[in-house]
Amino acid sequence: MKYKLYLIGLALLFSGDIFAQTGPPPAYFQLVKKADTLFQKKEYQQSASTYSAAFNTFNGRAILNDRYNAACAWARSGKADSAFFHLFKVANAGKYADDQHLAIDSDLASIHKDSRWPDLMTIVRNNKTALEAQYNLPVKKQLEDIFASDQYYRRKADSIQNRFGFKSPQMQSLLDSMKTQDKINLQKTTAILDKYGWLGPDKVGNIANLALFAVIVHADLPTMEKYFPLLKDAADKNAASKGNLALLQDKIESARYHYQTYGTQLDKDEKTNKFSFVPIKDKEHVNERRAAVGLPPIEAYAKQWGITSY
């Protein structure tokens, strides 16, 4: 059976300062993954240097989340100048507006008393004010609530499945609740899409923009096909992630034709519980297609799911 829970990964969906541009090369993602691992091991200096190496593969450019994480690594390493270099890059991009998170992020505690900190906070707060002035606040709030409910049951799925099994009463109860909530969310979300179109982050913020995709990608095939052109138009206009567009395309192709273009969809063997890729069209060039939409190399994705051949 296909693995259909689809917990949405935020790292995939926020492409920051390269949102509308060609994605990083495969080496970028490999180095970022290494940097993340080093950070978790508290090897902060090596982590920071590895982030820099990743950005060098992309002519000094970076996904916004990765640049923020690099700043955290430099701050943990006691290198305030490097930390502020990346933080001001993030802030001056105009898209980072989470002043509350910035103020309490313990990874940045070492630079809070630096004379540059108030200036950084001012830029981020100004970003927030500017962005909120453009928002449709009632729709933003509604979509953020929808996203929270969309992810609520999915976040519980792995632990319940691992503890009780996929066919257990506990898991089936969770799936029933998830399906009920999905129907409610779909009705609300399609009403928004039909009235406003695909609202970009500049209109409703990142989480609300993500909610539109999350609900549609969890819908039935006719619904996905109906709203795919709307998402494509939004991605072409830089109002949605090209990575998300690729994922939705793969899901439609997998359901309709049992092949895919970008390698985002998996099959799961019920007997062995092992995953495999839905057949990938022209798989020799899949990494070129993935890089073009900001997705990491297929090898990294395969390793994440324990897939050794494809």
Residue where one domain finishes, among candidates 223, 249, 284: 223
Check residue 5 and give its pLDDT.
39
Whether residue 173 sits in one domain with residue 109: no
Nearest to 243 by CA among 13, 87, 42, 5: 13
- Band of the pLDDT at 17, cuts 50, 70, 90? very low
Please tell me whether residues 66 and 129 are part of one structural domain: yes
Q: Which amino acid is at 160?
A: I
Residue 287 sits in the same domain as residue 202: no
Domain final residue pick, 69, 100, 134: 134
pLDDT of residue 16: 39
User: What does the pLDDT read at residue 291?
Assistant: 87
What is the SS3 assignment for 113? coil
Residue 13 has pLDDT above 60, yes or no: no
124 and 160 part of one domain: no
Which parts of the chain are beta strand (E)? 266-268, 275-277
Q: Is the residue at 114 inside a domain? A: yes
Confidence of residue 184 (pLDDT cuts 50, 70, 90): very high
Average pLDDT over residues 259-282: 92
Tell me whether residue 19 is in a domain. yes
Average pLDDT, the chain: 89
Residue 205 lies in a domain: yes
102-135 pLDDT per residue, tens = 999 999 999 999 999 999 999 999 999 988 888 9
For position 32, which CATH number holds? 1.25.40.10
Q: How far is CA 222 from CA 178, 180, 218, 252, 255, in A?
A: 19, 18, 12, 9, 10
Alpha carbons 25 and 7: distance in angstroms, whole number: 25
196 and 248 in a single domain? The answer is no
Query: What gap in Å lies between CA 273 and CA 287, rounded to an integer?
Result: 26
pLDDT bin (cut points 50, 70, 90) of residue 300 is confident
Residue 237's H or E segment, with its range, is none
Contact assessment for residue 195 and residue 139, using Cβ atoms and an 8 Å cutoff? no
pLDDT band of residue 22 (cuts 50, 70, 90) is low
For the stretch 199-254, pLDDT in tens is 998 899 889 999 999 999 999 999 999 999 999 999 999 899 999 999 999 999 99
Give domain status of residue 7, yes or no: no
Average the pLDDT over 76-94 and give the result. 96
5 occurs within a structural domain: no
Cβ(310)–Cβ(279) below 8 Å: no
**Counting Cβ atoms within 10 Å, is residue 159 exposed (0-12), middle (13-18) or buried (19+)?**
exposed
pLDDT digits (tens, 9 = 90+) for 129-164: 988 888 999 999 999 999 999 999 998 888 898 899
Q: Domain total for the chain?
A: 3
Q: 67 CB contacts (<8 Å, ≥6 apart)?
A: 16, 17, 55, 86, 89, 90
Mean pLDDT, residues 34-63 taken together? 95
The answer to the question of residue 234 being in a domain is no
- Phi and psi at 130, nearest 5°, equal -65, -40
> Is 212 inside any structural domain?
yes
State which residues form the domain around 44.
13-134
Tell me the mean pLDDT in the region 83-109: 93
